Amino acid sequence: MLLKDKLAAQIPGLREDISSFVKAHGDHEISKVTIAQAYGGMRGVRAMVCDTSEVPPDKGLLVREIPIGDLAENLPEEIFFLLCTGDMPNKEELADLQKEYSARCEVPEYVWKVLEAMPKDSHPMCMFDTAILCMEKESKFRAAYDKGMKKTEYWEPMLEDSLDLLAKLPGIAAGVYRMRFGKGPRIAPKKDLDWGANFAHMMGLEDPKGTLADLMRLYLTLHCDHEGGNVSAHATHCIASALSDAYYAVSGGLNGLAGPLHGLANQECLGWVLQVHEKFGGVPSDDDLKQFAWDTLNSGKVIPGYGHAVLRVTDPRFTGFLQFGKKHMADDPIFAIVNKVYDIVPGVLKEHGKAKNPWPNVDAGSGALLYHYGLKEFSYYTVLFAISRAMGMCSQMIVSRAMGYSLERPKSLPTKVLKAQAGA
Ligand code: CMX
C-alpha cells in the first residue's frame, strides 16, 4: 500500500527529529495556566501536540499548513493522505488509497443486527457510534498487541484499523439513515465510485441536478480535522493514548461530537433558520431578523452556528459552503435566510457583548444545503460531520502511534488546594 510505504519512509526521520528536539528543548515553557483556565475548560492552555492541522484564530483551519479554502475542490481521500503524510497524494497514490477503501468497505452483517435491535427512536449519532464500537473485535491493533509487538510497530495496525474503519463509515452512515428514517432497504456500495460519491449513492436521495456527490465531497473535505484540542479530537487522543484501539477511540470521540456545543450544533442551526422562515413566512426584513436574534439571546439561548472557542473570524469552512450555495441554490429561501443571518447576527452578537467571536462557524450554513437536497432529518446532520471528522481522528492517532506519544495524564487539583495555592 503506497500510503503505508510513504509513512514507513517518513517515520524514522520524524521520530528522530522529535526525540532530539525534546532532548534539547524539553524544558522550554510554552504556556502558563491560571485558575480561571483550570475552571474554564482549559481554554487557551497550550499543552498538546497536533501536526495534522492547526487553527490560527485569525485564519481558520490549516490542514498541514494549507488553508482549508484552498482544498475545497480536493477529494476527501486526498485530504486523508495529506493529513497523514503532510503531502498531497500523486495520481498513483490516490488510486491506491481508493482501491484500499473499495476492498474494505463491506460492513459486517452483525452490525445491522445490533442496530436493528436498538430502540426505533435512538439518535442517529448513538446508532453510528454503536456500530463503530461493536466492530471492535475486528481490530488489527488489538490482535497484534495481544500477540506481542514492538512499540515502533504500533502505527502499522493503527493504519490498518483506520482504513478499515474509514472505508466502512459511509456505508454505515447511509445504512443508519435508511433504517432510522424508514427509507427502505440499504443500497449496496458501488466499488468504482469515490468515497463521497459512494456515500451520496448509498443515501438514495433524489438528485435531479446530479450535484449531490459534489456537496457530499465538499462536506466530507471541509469537516476533516480541527487541530487537537476540540472535544472530539481531544477525547479520541486521550482514549487512544491508553493504547485503546481505533474502534474504541473513534467511537468515544464521536460521542463528544454528539454534544450540542460541538457537532450537534449542526442540527440546531438549521432548526433556528427554519423557525425564522416559519415565523416570517419567508425571508424576513433586516429589522425582523434582528429582533428575532435578540429574542433568542434574551430567552437565554445561544444563536447556533455563531461563535467559536478558538476562531475569531468567519470560519473559512462556512465560506466554502456559502460559495457552494451561491452557485447551486441562490434562489432557495432557506439559503437566502442563512445569507441574511450572516449580514445581521454578527452585529447583534457584538452589541450583546458576550461571545468572544461573533462570526459564523462551520455549522451555520451547511444544514441549509443538505435541506435543499431533501436531507431534512436534522438529527442526522451530525453523522455526516462524524464521517468526515473520523479522518482527522484517525490521522492524529496514526501520527501519535508513529511518534510513540505518551499516555495522557494531566494533574487535577481539588478546589481546596487551589484556594490554598492562591492564598484565598
Ligand atoms: N450565542 C449566544 N451567546 C454566545 C454565543 C452564541 N452563538 N457564543 C458564545 N456565547 C456566549 C457563551 O455562552 C458565553 O456565555 P456565558 O459567559 O454566559 O457562559 C460567552 O458568550 C463567552 O463564550 P465564548 O468564550 O465566546 O465561547 P466558548 O468558547 O465558551 O464557546 C461555543 C464556544 C462554540 C460553544 C459558543 O460560541 C456557542 O455556544 N455557540 C453556539 C453553538 C455552536 O454554534 N456550536 C458549534 C461550534 C462548532 C463546533 O465545535 O462544532
Looking up residue 295, the CATH number of its domain turns out to be 1.10.230.10
The answer to whether position 252 is within a domain reads yes
State residue 142's pLDDT score. Answer: 98
The predicted model gives 392-413 an average pLDDT of 97
Query: In the block, which residue shows the cell 459511509?
Result: 170
Please check whether residues 237 and 355 belong to one and the same domain: no
363 is catalytic: yes
Report d(CA 71, CA 295) in Å as an integer.
38
Q: Whose CA is nearest to atom 28 of ligand 1?
A: 309
In this predicted structure, the answer to whether residue 149 has a pLDDT above a threshold of 80 is yes
Q: How far is the CA of 228 from the centre of ligand 1 (A)?
A: 19
Residue 306 pLDDT class (50, 70, 90 cuts): very high
The answer to whether position 325 is within a domain reads yes
Report d(CA 382, CA 401) in Å as an integer.
27
226 is catalytic: no
In this predicted structure, the answer to whether residue 423 has a pLDDT above a threshold of 90 is yes
The answer to whether position 35 is within a domain reads no
In this predicted structure, the answer to whether residue 222 has a pLDDT above a threshold of 80 is yes
Give residue ranges with CB within 6 A of ligand 1.
230, 261-263, 265, 297, 302-309, 354-357, 361-363
Please check whether residues 10 and 95 belong to one and the same domain: yes
Q: Whose CA is nearest to atom 11 of ligand 1?
A: 355
Residue 332 pLDDT class (50, 70, 90 cuts): very high
For position 66, which CATH number holds? Answer: 1.10.580.10
State residue 261's pLDDT score. Answer: 86
In this predicted structure, the answer to whether residue 266 has a pLDDT above a threshold of 80 is no
Please check whether residues 322 and 190 belong to one and the same domain: no
Please check whether residues 145 and 202 belong to one and the same domain: yes
Rounded to the nearest 5°, which phi and psi values hold at 306? -120, 145
308 is catalytic: yes
| Grid coordinates belonging to 265 | 450544533
The predicted model gives 308-315 an average pLDDT of 93
The answer to whether position 155 is within a domain reads yes
Please check whether residues 125 and 157 belong to one and the same domain: yes
Residue 59, domain extent: 2-14+50-260+384-403
Query: In the block, which residue shows the cell 435566510?
Result: 337
State residue 265's pLDDT score. Answer: 78
| Grid coordinates belonging to 348 | 447583534
Please check whether residues 218 and 130 belong to one and the same domain: yes
Report d(CA 245, CA 180) in Å as an integer.
28
The overall pTM is greater than 0.75:
yes
The answer to whether position 410 is within a domain reads no
State residue 333's pLDDT score. Answer: 95
Please give the tally of structural domains in the chain: 2
Please check whether residues 59 and 148 belong to one and the same domain: yes
State residue 187's pLDDT score. Answer: 98
Q: What is the DSSP letter of 96?
A: H
Q: Exactly one of 201, 223, 308, 315 is catalytic; which is it? A: 308
Lowest mean pLDDT: which of 39-43, 176-180, 258-262, 348-352? 258-262
State residue 118's pLDDT score. Answer: 98
Residue 268 pLDDT class (50, 70, 90 cuts): confident
Cβ–Cβ < 8 Å for 224, 63: yes
Lowest mean pLDDT: which of 104-108, 152-156, 361-365? 361-365
Q: Whose CA is nearest to atom 32 of ligand 1?
A: 308
The predicted model gives 74-82 an average pLDDT of 98
The answer to whether position 19 is within a domain reads no
Q: How far is the CA of 266 from the centre of ligand 1 (A)?
A: 14
pLDDT tens column, 84-107: 999 999 999 999 999 999 999 999
Please check whether residues 80 and 218 belong to one and the same domain: yes
Please check whether residues 118 and 225 belong to one and the same domain: yes
Residue 76 pLDDT class (50, 70, 90 cuts): very high
Percent of the chain with pLDDT over 70: 100
The predicted model gives 234-246 an average pLDDT of 98
State residue 308's pLDDT score. Answer: 93
Please check whether residues 299 and 190 belong to one and the same domain: no
Residue 227 pLDDT class (50, 70, 90 cuts): very high
In this predicted structure, the answer to whether residue 52 has a pLDDT above a threshold of 90 is yes
Report d(CA 356, CA 302) in Å as an integer.
13
Q: Whose CA is nearest to atom 3 of ligand 1?
A: 302
Percent of the chain with pLDDT over 90: 96
The answer to whether position 321 is within a domain reads yes
Q: How far is the CA of 134 from the centre of ligand 1 (A)?
A: 33
Residue 309 pLDDT class (50, 70, 90 cuts): confident
**Closest ligand 1 atom to 357 CA:** 26
Strands, E, within 182-272: which ranges? Answer: none
Please check whether residues 146 and 106 belong to one and the same domain: yes
From 61, 261, 345, give the residue whose CB has the most ligand 1 atoms within 8 Å, as the site to mutate: 261
Q: How far is the CA of 419 from the centre of ligand 1 (A)?
A: 28
More confident residue, 65 or 309: 65
In this predicted structure, the answer to whether residue 351 has a pLDDT above a threshold of 80 is yes
Residue 198 pLDDT class (50, 70, 90 cuts): very high
Distances 210 to 171, 223, 327, 328 between C-alpha atoms, Å? 20, 22, 14, 11
State residue 175's pLDDT score. Answer: 98
The answer to whether position 115 is within a domain reads yes
Please check whether residues 160 and 277 belong to one and the same domain: no
Q: How far is the CA of 360 from the centre of ligand 1 (A)?
A: 11
Q: Kindly report the average pLDDT of the chain as a whole number.
A: 96
In this predicted structure, the answer to whether residue 262 has a pLDDT above a threshold of 90 is no
